């Protein structure tokens, strides 16, 4: 083999080894957030560890809420710079870049609410606050055992469960935005959940009169999402138009809207979650609408199927206040995993 060919082959082999190494690293480490969680825990004082740490079986794990209330778990106010950096790192490792962007921008909206509503006060005397977001860890972060963690505050509730080094549940996932649309002088209006709003409106306005009659179940949008903060999604009627009743362009819009929500999760879990939805049958998903058909008029939509519920509601504050949620009806809070675990232990 001549020298030039040998050098080319050597270079190619090196590239293959690098790529293989990256793939192996991603496969074995990308979803194992236990290292990040333990790094975070190791920065904390004993007092903060007591406040952040719960058993995996503790009922607090199911105490999901998204309104301004007093919560358990320390916040960014309790952390020094090292602890804050580790906390941010844990959050960032648990979400996609887009999911992390939305979360941080939702937190920043508290600064706007502080200006718009300076008199707001919670029972503990605190007001609107972009640092008042809480960390709770359930069980012992481990690459081999079941454990979970939660990040929560006003308009954010992110609930993660990991087993054997992989995130196996990331729902319920709540994200809200108040204001939904922010007018910035000299710039275009800014919206944290812009795509969720834009694509929902685009899809409903693409429907024919006959299709809209199937999709729209009421002229008045509900004040709140139907699933609220319930531990289980129950008794929510499956309404609307099915995926199969949409034309190809509409189905493409539907899939794009679905991907916006799935895209908040880290890559491997988003793929697992998408596969679970597809295995249940995209043709079994319905798109339902309530309220007005344009921005500025209260509206609501949901995507609903055998194992999935996505809700989007923009009615409060003159239709400038969004609540959105993703629920895995079969495995919120990894309850199906916990059930299987107990069944194995009893056997």
Q: What is the pLDDT of residue 19?
A: 38
Q: What is the pLDDT of residue 188?
A: 59
Task: For 265-274, write each residue's pLDDT tens digit.
Answer: 998 999 999 9
Q: What is the pLDDT of residue 187?
A: 52
Is the confidence at residue 119, as pLDDT, over 80? yes
pTM: predicted TM-score of the whole model, two decimal places = 0.89
Q: Which residues contact 50 (CB under 8 A, 6 or more apart)?
A: none
Task: For 97-114, write each residue's pLDDT tens digit.
Answer: 999 999 999 999 999 999
Which of 45-49, 210-214, 259-263, 333-337 is least confident?
A: 333-337
pLDDT, averaged across the chain = 90
Phi, psi of 290 (to 5 degrees): -140, 145
Q: What is the pLDDT of residue 190?
A: 81
317 neighbors 173 (Cβ within 8 angstroms)? no
Q: What is the pLDDT of residue 340?
A: 65
Task: For 36-73, write each residue's pLDDT tens digit.
Answer: 999 999 999 999 999 999 999 999 999 999 999 999 99
């Amino acid at each position: 083999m001549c020298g030039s060919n040998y050098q080319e082959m050597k270079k190619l082999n090196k590239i293959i080894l690098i790529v293989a190494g990256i793939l192996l690293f991603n496969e074995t480490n990308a979803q194992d957030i236990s290292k990040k969680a333990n790094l975070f825990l190791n920065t904390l004082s004993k007092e903060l560890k007591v406040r952040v740490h719960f058993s995996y079986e503790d009922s607090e794990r199911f105490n999901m809420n998204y309104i301004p209330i007093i919560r358990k778990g320390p916040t960014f106010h309790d952390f020094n710079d090292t602890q804050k950096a580790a906390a941010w790192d844990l959050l960032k490792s648990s979400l996609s870049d887009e999911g992390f962007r939305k979360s941080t921008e939702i937190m920043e909206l508290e600064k706007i609410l502080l200006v718009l509503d300076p008199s707001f006060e919670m029972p503990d005397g605190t007001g609107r606050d972009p640092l008042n977001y809480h960390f709770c860890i359930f069980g012992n972060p481990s690459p081999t055992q079941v454990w979970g963690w939660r990040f929560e505050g006003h308009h954010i509730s992110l609930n993660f469960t990991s087993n054997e080094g992989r995130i196996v549940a990331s729902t319920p996932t709540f994200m809200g935005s108040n204001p939904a649309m922010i007018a910035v002088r000299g710039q275009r209006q800014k919206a944290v959940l812009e795509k969720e709003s834009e694509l929902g409106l685009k899809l409903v306005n693409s429907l024919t009169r006959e299709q809209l009659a199937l999709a729209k179940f009421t002229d008045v949008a509900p004040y709140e999402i139907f699933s609220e903060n319930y531990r289980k999604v129950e008794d929510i009627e499956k309404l609307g138009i099915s995926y199969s009743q949409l034309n190809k362009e509409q189905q493409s819009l539907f899939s794009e809207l679905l991907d916006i929500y799935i895209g908040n999760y880290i890559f491997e879990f988003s793929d697992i979650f998408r596969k679970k939805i597809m295995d249940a049958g995209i043709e079994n998903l319905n798109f339902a609408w309530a309220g007005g058909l344009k921005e500025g008029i209260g509206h609501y939509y949901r995507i609903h199927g055998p194992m999935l519920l996505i809700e989007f509601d923009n009615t409060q504050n003159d239709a400038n206040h969004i609540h959105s949620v993703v629920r895995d009806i079969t495995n919120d809070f990894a309850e199906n995993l916990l059930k299987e675990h107990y069944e194995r232990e009893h056997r």
